[in-house]
Amino acid sequence: MASPQTPDVRAALSRLPLLGKNSSRPLGAGLLASGVLAVTIRKIQSELSHDASAD
């Protein structure tokens, strides 16, 4: 179970580039952009995006 995030934390996380979209950043292509970890990160990013649009 994840701990609740403040609106400021959610807003900051939602400003990060999508996984694999910016090769010069930590979320660029590589280990984070493949496999189960990538699926998890993309799900988190999708949920953050959904939360931001609901505010």
Distance in angstroms (rounded) separating the CA atoms of residues 31 and 40? 13
**Would you state the pLDDT for residue 22?**
73
Question: Measuring CA to CA, how many Å separate 18 from each of 35, 40, 47?
Answer: 16, 12, 12
Contact 27, 16 (CB under 8 A): yes
Secondary structure of residue 46 in the 3-state scheme: helix
**pLDDT higher than 60, residue 1:** no
Determine the structural domain holding residue 38 and report its residue range. Answer: 23-54
Task: State pLDDT tens for residues 3-42.
Answer: 678 888 888 888 878 777 777 777 677 777 788 888 888 8
**Would you state the pLDDT for residue 55?**
59
Residue 5 covered by a domain: no
**Would you state the pLDDT for residue 53?**
67
pTM > 0.85: no
Burial of 41 per CB tally in 10 Å (0-12, 13-18, 19+): middle
Q: How many domains does the chain have?
A: 1
pLDDT band at 52 (very low <50, low <70, confident <90, very high): low
